Structure 1
Amino acid sequence: MASTRKRTRAVIAAGAALAAVGLAIAGTSAASAQPSADHSAKTATPITHVVVIFGENVSYDHYFGTYPQAANTDGTTFTAAAATPRNDNLATSGALTDNPNLYPPTRLAPSQAATCDQNHSYTAEQKALDDGAMDAFVQNVSVDTCTGLYAAPGLTMGYYDGNTVTGLWNYPQQYAMSDNSWDATFGPSTPGALNLISGQTHGFTEVDSKTLQQVATPGSYTVADPNTAGVGTVINDPDPAFDDCADKNHTSTNTLAAGSGKNIGDLLNAKGVTWGWFQGGFRPTTAAGDGTTYAVCGASHTNLAGASVADYSPHHNPFAYFKSTSNQHHLPPTSVAMIGNTDQANHQYDLSDFDAALTSGNLPAVSFLKASEYQDGHAGYSDPIDEQHFIVDTINTLQKSKEWSSTAVVISYDDSDGWYDHVAPVISNASTSAAHDVAVCSSSTAPVLGGYLDRCGPSQRLPLLVISPYAKSNFVAHNETTQPSILKFIEDNWKTGRIGDSSLDATAGSLMPMFQFGRTDGKQVLLNADGSVQSIAATH
């Protein structure tokens, strides 16, 4: 985010010009783009701002396998507080030295931060579990060779410690983390992102990339097990229907996924609560024209490994799968004051708009942040060090703002990438798809919620951190949560009601054990770019 923050002043100064361009495209008037009645301050807790930093592709053991004990042989030194509570990881469980997989867990050094991307498809992840034996990861998800990145046999068994993911180890020393948070369903990025905002991966149709009309004969990738009406479940990473930048600006022949249900954006709009999805590279490098051309998302950055990476990924934007919450042409907000409100941007923004809103004192009640791809932590094109720069810069800026006293930052992830985690899941939502499910799901006695196939889960543990003046300090929560637990916290805090239609928000565990609402310590914990502690001070 450091690169986008340099553009903050330019973004604010150019707001009127951007708005004028956007209004011409949208055919609206500035007079019509006024904030509606704002009920954002009507909350069930003292938290009036939630900021979700949604990262990519990390299992719990991959980042916290030996927490809080780091090797301290390289990288940034980490020393834990003496009273750090126990958590269930590779070291404490014994799985670090006594492991049933073909290769043992292996520490990855900071010099090995940029690695191959593992196989994290819906069925492959199920097979890796071997019906709960947790011993078939190498055979099913390990990707051991790739070009220009670190690779090794049995790479899926690799883990980092506090000498590499130093910031993510220092935050729970002062705030709260969970060792029992899970990917709600098996599979890659898009299902995890959809579960974050709607708790639902079913209810999607396959549409033509150019006409956006439903295809007559569904394929095997975009939606799984469609019914006679063509409605099925997303288990892969199809691009969203309502996004100009999808499907290589709609020039490819891939079909797209269109959702028909509700998401948290719809619920927040109905309650008059400000919100936004802020994603790196969302601001187009070429604006849409008069409807005959598409906006182009051409921005890119160079990652730690020296590769140029496109900033924006359409399938990482879950709101673009729903017409009601999409900003198809990537239009800018009509003004900084309208960020978080409903106007032509429709709550979908570039990360620079988050910077502008925060700087102007106009932070939406609910903000979802998605880093540019080079900083989102996804193996293959990002890494934990680039990711740390984004997280630390974002949280430092938030803690220096006037909104910090009422803010909760939640750091969560979309999926495990197939990286090994030693804990076997207890399946709570089964699936019996002949094409996609194996015994761990198809033989489970758990219900098939809604009768919807291909939503089996939970699958693997993921990191979850809560950073807030109201978060418990140096605390590890052990109650089970999933991505829809974040959705549920937002729903409960702003009293929006539930998504319905067998959304996983109804059964998700609670984030509340990670908070202490009876008091606030008011700490400001600033970190350096390498994740080490810069300062700890009281803010009141």
Structure 2
Amino acid sequence: SSISGQNTRTPIKHVINIYFENHTFDNYFGTYPQSPQSSKQDIISSLPTPVNLLSNVSLLSSVRAIPPGNFSTPDPIEGYTAYHTDWNHGSMNNFLNGSGPYSMTYYDSSQLGPIWDLAEQYSMGDMYFSPLLSESAPNTMYYLAGFSPVFNDYGPPPGIPFSQTIFGELSSYNVSWGLYIPKQSLASNYSEWNHIEGMNSHLGNVGTWNDFTSELENGTIPSVSYIFSQEANGTDQAAPSNILKGKMWLIYLVNKIEESPIWNSTAIFITWDDPGGYYDQVSPPVLDGIQLGFRLPFIVVSPFAKEGYISNTILTHPSILAFIDYNWEMPALNQFVSRVNIPIDFFNFHDSYGQNGILREPIIFNFGDNFPVPKAPEFTLPTNLQSLNVSATFPMEPQYNLSSLPYPKTGSVTFNLSSISPQVFVKQNSVLVPFYASYSFLFAFILLNVIVLSFGVRQRWKK
């Protein structure tokens, strides 16, 4: 293959992906930016409103707000069947019969103020969909490979080869990459990549959260990083876990990145793997023949991210892969990746903020007693959560005047890799199935049983 190395189409030299679990857009941003308790209503009124529950009063009344001081719900019913029942062929009106009563809930600024601050200070998408109407395993495979060998949480087997993932493509084009997980001991059978055959030959690319922060401090992180929150006692935010822990961990990480020497060349993509059974109102589209799943939260943090911007661009997990391919001048990972939109409208690479130029200074998120930011990636949650209401953290003072930004507050683009080049890295994805799990084995097993039974019948007939 041709050599890409460190050439990039944009000023972004580091992409950092942070991955959580199991929340929809309406579950997290259903009432954004409304915060009645805030004394800063002038800032709130200047922020754009995404497509959310605020646009439909009757819809809002049918979904229940989670009370302040509560940072979790019982787990809604999850899975391929439940989500298809919720979806109801696009009517989005059968959640009570699919994912059940706990699906019809949403968080607001009293629980999510700091995450809302990330969206307010930087950019978010309100049309970012999970790749499939299903749960973690298939959606995560689309996140890492733009393809899945499974349609629900089962296996492995089957799997896909390492060479057909984004890691295989990055390796082929000499672009450095790294994966960061809670503990090194998890690496050889980590849930987020155990459907990828051959990952254990690349465990040198796997480090811990502490390794990531050390590399940040000395400026040696790879070009593309994936930080996984999973398998860490609730950091992933999946119900019934307390979402506060994952939120504190996220703010800690964002602060560490913004304080580091690589901030001026970085884009952070923050998203969740699948809807987790929670309600969302938008019927997902079909993209390149694939029925997408429900909307997920999606936040982009970067010195080039537009302030307070809401993108209406239709996106999905492989859109992040498309950005990586686009940025490092590589072909699309596969056909599906070539046809999804690239999240390019989140960035301002050209328009100056006056004498400050186009680069935004780091924003260190420090909320004092209103929200305790941890000092390390592993920490213990505060004990008295019932009294914690983080609505006072939102909104923050804008970095620049929201009425005089050099770009619109909302927008969308239709831009994909197929409009640049027909080239793809993986022309045909493979599903790897060992012989014992294949249809050939099943056929041979059935045939052998038929032969044995027939032989037994003949022997008895002879007698």
TM-score, scaled to structure 1: 0.63
Residue number in structure 2 paired with 1:264:
166
The 1:411–1:236 alpha-carbon spacing in structure 2 relative to 1, beyond 3 Å, is same
The 1:373–1:189 alpha-carbon spacing in structure 2 relative to 1, beyond 3 Å, is farther
Q: How many Å apart are 1:167 and its aligned residue?
A: 1.4
Q: Is the 8 A contact 1:43 1:494 kept in 2?
A: yes
Task: Give the counterpart of 2:291 among 451, 457, 467.
Answer: 457
Q: How many Å apart are 1:53 and its aligned residue?
A: 0.7
Task: Give the counterpart of 2:11 among 19, 39, 46.
Answer: 46
CA distance in 2, matches of 1:485, 1:44: 16
**What does the per-residue CA deviation read over 1:474-529, in whole Å, with 9 as the maximum and x for residues that have no partner?**
110011000110010001101221222x4x31221220011111142423222236
Q: How many Å apart are 1:313 and its aligned residue?
A: 11
Residue number in structure 2 paired with 1:238:
154
Residue number in structure 2 paired with 1:358:
216
SS in 1 for 2:234: helix
Task: Give the counterpart of 1:368 among 217, 226, 238.
Answer: 226
Alignment of 1:1-150 (within 5 A): 40-72=5-37, 80-97=43-60, 104-142=62-100
Q: How many Å apart are 1:387 and its aligned residue?
A: 1.2
Q: Is the 8 A contact 2:131 2:316 kept in 1?
A: yes
Q: Is the 8 A contact 2:217 2:261 kept in 1?
A: no
Residue number in structure 1 paired with 2:345:
513
Q: How many Å apart are 1:462 and its aligned residue?
A: 0.5
Residue number in structure 2 paired with 1:201:
148
Residue number in structure 1 paired with 2:181:
279
Q: How many Å apart are 1:317 and its aligned residue?
A: 1.8
Q: How many Å apart are 1:280 and its aligned residue?
A: 1.5
CA distance in 2, matches of 1:359, 1:521: 20
Q: Is the 8 A contact 2:4 2:330 kept in 1?
A: no
Q: How many Å apart are 1:39 and its aligned residue?
A: 5.7
CA distance in 1, matches of 2:116, 2:3: 37
Residue number in structure 2 paired with 1:523:
361
Q: How many Å apart are 1:374 and its aligned residue?
A: 1.5
SS in 2 for 1:377: coil
% identical equivalent positions: 27
Q: Is the 8 A contact 1:179 1:476 kept in 2?
A: yes
Alignment of 1:187-226 (within 5 A): 187-202=134-149
The 1:362–1:181 alpha-carbon spacing in structure 2 relative to 1, beyond 3 Å, is same
Residue number in structure 2 paired with 1:440:
none
The 1:484–1:465 alpha-carbon spacing in structure 2 relative to 1, beyond 3 Å, is same
Q: What is the Cα-based RMSD across aligned positions, in Å?
A: 2.6
Q: Is the 8 A contact 2:236 2:246 kept in 1?
A: yes
Q: Which has the higher helix share?
A: 2
Residue number in structure 2 paired with 1:208:
none
The one-letter code of the counterpart of 2:105 is G
Residue number in structure 2 paired with 1:443:
none
Residue number in structure 1 paired with 2:197:
323
SS in 1 for 2:19: strand
The one-letter code of the counterpart of 2:132 is T
Residue number in structure 2 paired with 1:400:
259
Q: Is the 8 A contact 1:526 1:536 kept in 2?
A: no
The one-letter code of the counterpart of 1:375 is T
The 1:476–1:396 alpha-carbon spacing in structure 2 relative to 1, beyond 3 Å, is same
The 1:506–1:136 alpha-carbon spacing in structure 2 relative to 1, beyond 3 Å, is same
Residue number in structure 1 paired with 2:203:
345
CA distance in 1, matches of 2:327, 2:209: 24
Q: Is the 8 A contact 1:184 1:458 kept in 2?
A: yes
SS in 2 for 1:177: strand
Q: How many Å apart are 1:277 and its aligned residue?
A: 1.4
Alignment of 1:149-164 (within 5 A): 154-164=101-111
Q: Is the 8 A contact 1:193 1:316 kept in 2?
A: no
| Structure (1 or 2) with the larger CA radius of gyration | 2
The 1:265–1:113 alpha-carbon spacing in structure 2 relative to 1, beyond 3 Å, is same
CA distance in 1, matches of 2:188, 2:270: 19
Q: How many Å apart are 1:162 and its aligned residue?
A: 1.3
Task: Give the counterpart of 1:165 among 101, 105, 112.
Answer: 112
Is 1:379–2:239 an aligned residue pair? Answer: yes
The 1:426–1:97 alpha-carbon spacing in structure 2 relative to 1, beyond 3 Å, is same
Task: Give the counterpart of 2:247 among 377, 388, 398.
Answer: 388
SS in 1 for 2:9: coil
Q: Is the 8 A contact 1:239 1:314 kept in 2?
A: no
The one-letter code of the counterpart of 1:527 is F
Q: Is the 8 A contact 1:523 1:536 kept in 2?
A: no
SS in 2 for 1:194: helix
The one-letter code of the counterpart of 2:200 is N
Is 1:424–2:283 an aligned residue pair? Answer: yes
**What does the per-residue CA deviation read over 1:249-300, in whole Å, with 9 as the maximum and x for residues that have no partner?**
xxxxxxx44223601101111111111111123x12xxxxxxxxxxxx4xxx
**What does the per-residue CA deviation read over 1:43-73, in whole Å, with 9 as the maximum and x for residues that have no partner?**
110000011111111100000001000243x
Q: Is the 8 A contact 1:56 1:414 kept in 2?
A: yes
TM-score, scaled to structure 2: 0.73
CA distance in 2, matches of 1:416, 1:348: 27
Residue number in structure 2 paired with 1:479:
313
Which ranges of structure 2 fall in alignment gaps of 5 or more residues? 352-357, 372-389, 401-463
Q: Is the 8 A contact 2:70 2:111 kept in 1?
A: no
**What does the per-residue CA deviation read over 1:113-167, in whole Å, with 9 as the maximum and x for residues that have no partner?**
122122221122111112222110011112xxxxxxxxxxx21110001111111
Q: How many Å apart are 1:345 and its aligned residue?
A: 2.8
The 1:506–1:78 alpha-carbon spacing in structure 2 relative to 1, beyond 3 Å, is farther
Q: Please identify runs of 4+ aligned residues in structure 1 that moved more than 4 A.
A: 37-40, 76-80, 312-315, 533-538
CA distance in 1, matches of 2:40, 2:239: 23
